[in-house]
């Protein structure tokens, strides 16, 4: 099972050779590999607490500082 990688919020996720690889885009030494069985257990855990995670993610978006918001906007604007 090899599935295309996904990058989100500074992390790269990839399923390859029946393992889930999670790597920081900022520090490649921050790396984790999980077996398919462990990744499935993690998925179950995250699904169990998805509502709590959604609230935490929403709260995190609300607490972005004005400087962070400006930096994010500048990075997202290809003409800026």
Q: Quick check: 32 pLDDT over 50? A: yes
Q: Output 37 or 70, whichever has higher pLDDT.
A: 37
Output the pLDDT for position 71: 54
DSSP-based helix, strand, coil % in the chain, nearest 5: 45, 30, 25
Closest CA to 20 of 57, 49, 54, 46: 46
Output the pLDDT for position 62: 81
Output the pLDDT for position 2: 75
Domain interval for residue 63: 3-76
Domain count, the chain: 1
């Amino acid at each position: 099972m090899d599935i295309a990688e996904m990058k989100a919020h500074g992390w790269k996720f990839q399923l390859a050779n029946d393992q889930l690889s999670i790597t920081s885009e900022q520090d490649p030494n921050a790396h984790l590999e999980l077996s398919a069985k462990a990744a499935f257990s993690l998925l179950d855990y995250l699904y169990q607490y998805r509502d709590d995670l959604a609230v935490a993610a929403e709260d995190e978006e609300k607490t972005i500082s004005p400087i962070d918001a400006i930096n994010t906007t500048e990075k997202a604007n290809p003409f800026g």
